[in-house]
């Protein structure tokens, strides 16, 4: 692994006493030893582990799993959702849990293509979403039946079963028709207006009421919200039966708000910004969040860096 002047082997990164070599800018000068080169006297390895522990505290405070829907594999997140059309083997190594989405917006992808891609990626896929159709209950029920007739057992066991409808009653019917297939279900048709086609499901309030209706009228215990990370949904996120959601908004924010330049390692910089947005969000929806923001002392300290 290369990091500026610092060189080390990848298999030594977990060894707190691993050696390092520093190549000085002046030719012929090399320094070796242990890496106590920060003000806190943390080695690079120790520093990364310290950062990981702090990040884990934020993750543990989230009321649900928030899957990051993004194609970039230059950063690690605990939960990732990837579209079947763009899924890669490399994405398995950049998350703790991976959903293979159905490619709902792509009419050329159906269950055979979806199952074939899941088999290519292999058991690194944690969840597979059968092909569904936005706000179309009957087409989605038919497609899920087809999926379970075609898929091998190991994929059936990892199904995240989609629910679709144009009104609250449709979602209840969809669930009742499909609940014998599994225990983990995804509420679809509530993403942005581009995917939400039902006129009655356009407002945030209408979408939330449909989700709450499903929770109140059925015995569902594990629900995922497709394409939904919105601060207006915090009360829904804290329902113990809503265990996960996903969104591509973190990548969109990273590209539109002070996007990184192009060139070597720009993908890594973009990834860190995506991860930053993800951590901001899961902290904001956690019980540990303080809406007031900085304390007066923190505010005064921050002025020192603002110039």
What are the DSSP calls for 118-165, one per residue? Answer: HHHHGGG--EEPPP--TT-HHHHHHHHHHHHHHS-HHHHTTB-EEE--
Closest CA to 267 of 275, 17, 223, 284: 275
Strand pairing category for 30-33 and 65-69: unpaired
Rounded CA separation 153/149 (Å): 10
Q: For residue 35, what pLDDT is reported?
A: 45
Bridge partners (DSSP) listed for residue 5: none
Beta bridge pairs of residue 185: 161, 223
Q: Which residues of the chain register pLDDT less than 70?
A: 1-44, 71-74, 192-197, 254-267, 288-307
d(C-alpha 229, C-alpha 9), whole Å: 39
pLDDT of the residue at 84: 87
Q: Which pLDDT value is given to residue 47? A: 73
Domain spans of the chain?
2-37, 63-284
Cβ atoms of 109 and 85 within 8 Å: the answer is: yes
Position 268 scores a pLDDT of: 73
Give how far Cα 196 sits from Cα of 37, 126, 253, 280, Å: 53, 26, 21, 26
Classified by CATH at the fold level, domain 63-284 comes out as: TIM Barrel (3.20.20)
What pLDDT does residue 89 have?
76
| Cβ within 8 Å of residue 70, ≥6 positions away | 80, 248, 250, 251, 274
How far is residue 242's CA from residue 225's CA, in Å, rounded to a whole number? 8
At which residue do the structure tokens 């000085």 appear?
24
Specify the residue for token string 């990548």: 251
Residues contacting residue 2 through CB under 8 Å, at least 6 positions apart: none
pLDDT given for residue 27 in this prediction? 53
Q: Report the alpha-carbon distance of residue 265 to residue 9 in Å, rounded.
A: 19
Tell me which residue has tokens 């936005």.
Answer: 134
Sequence-distant (6+) residues with CB within 8 A of 261 are none
């Amino acid at each position: 692994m290369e990091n500026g002047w610092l060189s080390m082997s990848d298999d030594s990164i977990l060894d707190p006493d691993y050696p390092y070599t520093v190549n000085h800018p002046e030719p012929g000068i090399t320094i070796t030893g242990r890496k106590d080169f920060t003000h806190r006297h943390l080695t690079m390895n120790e520093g990364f582990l310290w950062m990981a522990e702090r990040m884990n505290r934020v993750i543990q405070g989230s009321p649900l799993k928030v899957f990051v829907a993004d194609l970039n594999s230059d950063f690690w997140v605990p939960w990732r959702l990837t579209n079947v059309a763009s899924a890669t083997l490399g994405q398995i190594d950049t998350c703790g849990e991976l959903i293979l989405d159905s490619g709902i917006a792509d009419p050329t992808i159906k269950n055979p293509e979806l199952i074939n891609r899941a088999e290519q990626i292999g058991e690194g896929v944690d969840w597979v979403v059968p092909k569904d159709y936005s706000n179309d209950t009957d087409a989605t029920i038919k497609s899920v039946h087809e999926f379970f007739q075609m898929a091998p057992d190991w994929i059936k066991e990892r199904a995240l079963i989609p629910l679709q409808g144009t009104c609250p009653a449709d979602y209840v019917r969809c669930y009742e028709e499909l609940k014998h297939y599994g225990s983990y279900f995804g509420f679809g048709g509530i993403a942005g207006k581009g995917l939400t086609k039902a006129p009655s499901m356009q407002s945030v309030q209408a979408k939330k009421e449909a989700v709450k209706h499903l929770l109140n009228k059925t015995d569902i215990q594990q629900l995922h919200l497709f394409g939904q990370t919105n601060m207006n949904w915090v009360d829904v996120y804290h329902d113990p039966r809503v265990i996960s959601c996903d969104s591509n908004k973190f990548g969109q924010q990273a590209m539109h708000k002070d996007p990184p330049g192009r060139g070597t390692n720009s993908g890594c910089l973009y990834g860190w910004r995506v991860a930053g947005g993800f951590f901001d969000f899961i902290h904001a929806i956690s019980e540990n969040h303080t809406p007031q923001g900085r304390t007066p002392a923190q505010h005064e300290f921050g002025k020192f860096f603002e110039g």
